[in-house]
C-alpha cells in the first residue's frame, strides 16, 4: 500500500468505528429509557444527539453525554449497570463509560497486583483490580480504579463494594491522564480513609505518589528508572522495574511500502 492508500483506509476504519460507537451508545440509552419508564420515572431526553465522532477523535475517557440528559439516581444506576456488558462509573448523577485498556496498561496493573499480593496477605489487607467497584456512599459516586487496597475490616468481608480505600492506583494512558490527575483525584480525596494515590505511566518508567498529610495537604514524590518505591501506608518497598516487567513501550506503526 502507498501512504495515501493507508491514510484512506484509516479514515474508513474510523468512520465505521464511529457509526458502530453511535449505535452502541444509542442502545445504552434506549435500555436506560425503558428501565426508567418501567419504574414510573420520567425518561431521559434523547432529542439532542451527542457528538461521538468529535469526542472519539479527541480520545476522551468519558462517552460524550448531552448536557440536557436527566440525572439518574444511584439506585437506578446500580440496577442498570449490573445488566451491562461493560463497566460504567457514576459521578454526580451521570453515567461514565470506561474505555478499553491497552496491553501495556493491563500488564502494569497485573504486575503491580502480583507484587502486592504476598505482602498484603501477611497483613490481612485486600487488593482488587479494575472489576472491583469503589463506593463513595456519602457523595453517591462509584468508581473502578485500576487497583485498590483496603485495610478496613468491613471491606475485607464485603462482597459488593470497597468503601474505605487506603491506596488507589491508576495506570495512566493518553486518553485518561487529564481526568486521573484532575477531577478523579479530586473525587478520590473525599474518601477519609485514602492515604496514598498512585499514578503509573504506561508509556515510560515513571510512578508518582500523592500521600495524605495534615489537613488538606498532600505530599508528592516521583520515581523513575533505577529507583525503589515505598508505599508508607502499607509499609511496602519494591523496585520500580517490577511494575514494567514484560511491558512493551513500542507503539504499533504501519510502514508505507
pTM of the model: 0.72
What percent of the chain is helix, strand and coil (3-state, nearest 5)?
Answer: 35, 25, 40
Residue 32: what pLDDT? Answer: 61
Residue 251: what pLDDT? Answer: 64
pLDDT tens per residue, range 197-217? 999 999 999 999 999 999 999
pLDDT tens per residue, range 42-83? 544 444 444 333 333 333 334 334 344 578 999 999 999 999
Residue 31: what pLDDT? Answer: 64
Contact 226, 190 (CB under 8 A): no
98-108 burial, b at 16+ Cβ within 10 Å, e below that, comes to bbebbebbbbb
**Three cell numbers written together for 142:** 462509584
pLDDT tens per residue, range 109-152? 999 999 999 999 888 899 999 999 999 999 999 999 999 999 99
Q: Which residue has the higher pLDDT, 156 or 251?
A: 156
Q: Is the pLDDT of residue 3 over 60?
A: no
Amino acid at each position: 500500500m502507498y501512504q495515501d492508500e493507508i491514510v484512506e483506509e484509516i479514515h474508513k476504519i474510523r468512520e465505521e468505528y464511529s457509526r458502530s460507537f453511535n449505535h452502541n451508545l444509542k442502545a445504552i440509552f434506549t435500555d436506560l429509557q425503558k428501565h426508567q419508564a418501567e419504574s414510573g420515572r420520567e425518561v431521559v431526553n434523547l432529542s439532542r444527539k451527542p457528538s461521538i465522532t468529535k469526542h472519539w477523535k479527541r480520545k476522551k475517557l468519558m462517552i460524550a453525554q448531552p448536557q440536557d440528559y436527566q440525572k439518574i439516581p444511584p439506585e437506578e444506576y446500580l440496577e442498570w449497570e449490573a445488566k451491562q456488558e461493560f463497566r460504567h462509573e457514576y459521578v454526580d448523577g451521570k453515567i461514565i463509560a470506561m474505555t478499553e485498556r491497552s496491553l501495556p496498561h493491563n500488564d502494569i496493573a497485573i504486575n503491580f497486583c502480583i507484587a502486592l499480593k504476598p505482602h498484603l496477605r501477611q497483613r490481612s489487607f485486600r487488593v482488587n483490580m479494575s472489576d472491583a467497584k469503589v463506593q463513595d456512599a456519602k457523595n453517591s459516586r462509584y468508581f473502578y480504579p485500576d487497583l485498590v487496597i483496603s485495610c478496613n475490616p468491613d471491606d475485607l468481608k464485603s462482597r459488593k463494594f470497597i468503601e474505605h480505600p487506603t491506596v488507589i492506583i491508576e495506570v495512566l494512558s493518553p486518553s485518561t491522564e487529564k481526568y486521573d490527575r484532575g477531577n478523579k483525584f479530586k473525587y478520590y480525596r473525599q474518601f477519609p480513609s485514602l492515604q496514598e494515590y498512585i499514578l503509573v505511566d504506561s508509556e515510560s518508567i515513571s510512578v508518582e505518589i500523592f500521600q495524605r498529610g495534615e489537613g488538606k495537604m498532600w505530599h508528592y514524590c516521583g520515581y523513575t528508572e533505577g529507583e525503589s518505591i515505598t508505599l508508607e501506608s502499607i509499609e511496602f518497598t519494591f523496585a520500580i522495574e517490577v511494575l514494567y516487567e514484560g511491558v512493551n513501550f513500542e507503539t504499533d506503526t504501519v510502514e508505507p511500502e
